[in-house]
Amino acid sequence: MVGSVHTSNSITGPFTDDFQSWLKDNDYSSYDFPREDYGTQGSYGGKVDANTVISNTPVVFIHGNSDAALHKSSAATGWSNSIEYFLEQGYTTAELYATSWQDTNALNAASRTHDCYDLVRLRKFLEAVLAYTKAPKISVVTHSMGVTLGRKIVKGGTMEAADGRCDLGASLASKVEVFVGISGANYGLCNCEGGAATLEKTCNRKNGLWPGDSCGLNYLDCGLSPLPWPCSSHSYSTFLMNLNSDKTKEALYVFSAWSHADELIEYNNMVWGQQTSLIPTSDASIIYNTYGHMETKDLTSVDQYKMVKHFTVK
């Protein structure tokens, strides 16, 4: 990561009592959205009481691999900075939501994939926020692996994964006002080419971040730019190919953001000659020159707010 990131420690959860009671009354208890195993940092959001007025379009934040809903450690910084900034701009707890998925152990990062367990759970969270707030639309702000997870739970449909087959239901795109994808790997990661696709689950060819091993006459050099040989199309992970072939926009407005200095994605964000963090349906994008992977989330609260509230990039 480039430099150091100051993350707000003043933002704490978990969900409000009103939201937790609603979740129990509406049969969501089995999904453990509050994640109180993380103390106050496992979740965020909810009304103070049933009479709380919701004025802004509610925002759901989805974190990436080995991160958390809120700041839990120097490595798992969560959405604390973003939530703090949105609150300063007039949003309320009733309009900002986040839940943690999986754990924050970096040693487990290589084993995580786009599996049915996480996809179903996160899809149910979007449905719960829509039902609880009674808002006509929500906005979704995502980071890293949360981008591709978020795109799929909005698009819906069926899914084949190592943990089984699941049906996420109909598309929610008509109920999403803004979708923001920050530092996602929509076309995979070049570090997942070759043997990594077999050695690391997160790089697998089915529902992982495998970018494909060749494109035209180019072989095992997906991060080169320009590529030595012409490259018009290639095969990559089945999950990502299906995701990108579905041209339905994830929201009324779709924005992408990434950094050329991202130490996790590397290669100036390039995968076989295209920006892997550029969501195919994007209306606009922001490119940073110096931010590290977590900094693209932690230091961009102002831009996130502009995209969500004003439908524009700087």
Please say if the pLDDT value at position 3 is more than 50: no
Per-residue pLDDT at 215: 93
Question: Do residues 60 and 133 lie in contact, with contact meaning Cβ atoms separated by under 8 Å?
Answer: no
Beta-carbon neighbour count of residue 294 at 10 Å? 24
Query: Measured between alpha carbons, how far is 92 from 46 in angstroms, rounded to an integer?
Result: 9
Per-residue pLDDT at 5: 57
Q: Which residues pair with 180 in a beta bridge?
A: 141, 255
Query: Measured between alpha carbons, how far is 37 from 304 in angstroms, rounded to an integer?
Result: 28
What would the two tokens of residue 220 be? 């095992």
Alpha helices in the chain (DSSP H): 17-25, 80-88, 116-133, 145-155, 196-199, 238-245, 295-298, 301-310
- pLDDT tens per residue across span 223-235: 999 999 999 889 9
Domain range for 161 is 17-310
Q: What is the β-pairing status of strands 96-99 and 43-44?
A: antiparallel
Q: Is the pTM of this model over 0.75?
A: yes
Per-residue pLDDT at 6: 63
Is residue 9 included in any domain, yes or no?
A: no
Instruction: Name the domain count of the chain.
Output: 1
Is residue 112 included in any domain, yes or no?
A: yes
Question: Do residues 37 and 72 lie in contact, with contact meaning Cβ atoms separated by under 8 Å?
Answer: no
Please say if the pLDDT value at position 118 is more than 60: yes
Query: Measured between alpha carbons, how far is 133 from 139 in angstroms, rounded to an integer?
Result: 12
Please say if the pLDDT value at position 244 is more than 80: yes
Is residue 4 included in any domain, yes or no?
A: no
Q: Which residues pair with 138 in a beta bridge?
A: 176
10 pLDDT tier (thresholds 50, 70, 90): confident
Which CATH number is 273's domain given? Answer: 3.40.50.1820
Is residue 162 included in any domain, yes or no?
A: yes
Amino acid letter for position 147: V
Is residue 8 included in any domain, yes or no?
A: no
Per-residue pLDDT at 197: 83
Is residue 6 included in any domain, yes or no?
A: no
Alpha helices in 134-227 (DSSP H): 145-155, 196-199
Query: Measured between alpha carbons, how far is 267 from 261 in angstroms, rounded to an integer?
Result: 9
- pLDDT tens per residue across span 147-157: 999 999 999 99
Is residue 2 included in any domain, yes or no?
A: no
Per-residue pLDDT at 14: 96
Stated as kind and residue range, the H or E segment containing 215 is strand 214-215
4 pLDDT tier (thresholds 50, 70, 90): very low
Per-residue pLDDT at 9: 73
Is residue 41 included in any domain, yes or no?
A: yes
